[in-house]
Amino acid sequence: MPTALITGATAGIGAAFARRLAADGFSLVLVARDEERLRSSAETLHRRYGVKTEALPADLALDEDIAKVEERLREGVDLLVNNAGFGHPGSFLDVPVADEVRMLKVHCEAVLRLTLAALPGMRERDRGAVVNVASVAAFFTRGTYSASKAWVVNFSESTAAELTGTRVRVMALCPGFVRTEFHDRASMDTSGIPGFLWLSADKVVAAAMRDLALGARVSVPDIRYKVIVGVGRLIPRGLTGQVSRRLGRR
């Protein structure tokens, strides 16, 4: 039975990955900060799908907790989903530097370290995959969040290129606005986001798994966002920055 490790596994896209992979017969290692919620999620998935579930409480903003997850990955997994992440309600100049550094720790350093912990075993077995959850924001300019997600996309593509000729895959998943707890946790006002731009987490994961099977290095779920990203790449960066500031949170 294959094993998947998912960070940020108790809500949103991470929880949707857990449901999908459990339904596909994966044993699960679930990683999140809230230990009580994490163990409840693990037990629910075990009862519903009959798969082995393991709860691994960890805050990926802390070195010692990243190290715990690295150690588990070195024991061997078949799929790593780096999903943990968060946003800030304010603009870059209004956010305390400690909060910005914490975001970079979770979005960039943890993704790098966990990917590096998982890949040697996958390469030795010549099978396995890593999905790094980024965002459509990676293709636009909006503060540290979009900058960190742009790093995730570039890192994923670069790592995938290094694995050419193997059966190990690395893919960046770049969803748009998804109905999860993400915006509420960051105290973001999403009233300015048009209703047609919202996606469901389960559909995002279904698209991701399909693209991963097809060997994609970057997955942008839904034709609406494929068009947005395509247009965004054609217009000047300064203009895309103005658009991104006006759309979405206030």
Per-residue pLDDT tens for 15-49?
999 999 999 999 999 999 999 999 999 999 999 99
pLDDT tens, residue by residue, 130-187: 999 999 989 987 789 999 999 999 999 999 999 999 999 999 999 988 866 554 454 4
Q: Which of 222, 128, 124 is nearest to 169 (CA)?
A: 128
Contacts of 7 (CB under 8 A, 6+ apart): 14, 31, 32, 58, 60, 69, 81, 82, 83, 84, 110, 114
| Mean pLDDT score across all residues of the chain | 89
Q: pTM here? A: 0.87
Half-sphere exposure of residue 238: CA atoms within 13 angstroms, side-chain side: 0
Helix, coil or strand: residue 181: coil
Q: Is the pLDDT of residue 246 over 70?
A: no
pLDDT, residue 222, reads 84
pLDDT at position 193, please?
A: 65
Tell me the one-letter amino acid at 27.
S
Residue 232 pLDDT exceeds 80: no
Q: What pLDDT is recorded for position 180?
A: 61
What's the CA gap between 173 and 81, in Å, rounded?
Answer: 10
**Domain boundaries 3-246, corresponding CATH code:** 3.40.50.720
Average pLDDT, integer, range 220-242? 73
pLDDT on residue 230: 82
Q: Quote the pLDDT of residue 225.
A: 82
- pLDDT of 191 higher than 60: no
pLDDT band at 248 (very low <50, low <70, confident <90, very high): very low
Strands, E assignment, the chain:
3-7, 27-32, 53-57, 79-82, 128-133, 168-173, 218-219
Query: What local confidence, expressed as pLDDT, does residue 214 receive?
Result: 97
pLDDT category at 223 given cuts 50, 70, 90 is confident
**189 φ, ψ to 5°?**
-85, 115
What would the DSSP string read from start to end of 182-212?
HHHHTT---TTS-GGG-B-HHHHHHHHHHHH
Catalytic residue set:
145
- Structural domain boundaries of the chain? 3-246
Tens digits of residue pLDDT in 64-108: 999 999 999 999 999 999 999 988 777 777 789 999 999 999 999
| Neighbour count for residue 137 (Cβ, 10 Å) | 22
Q: Which residues, in sequence order, are bridge partners of residue 82?
A: 132
Nearest to 129 by CA among 88, 201, 174, 81: 81
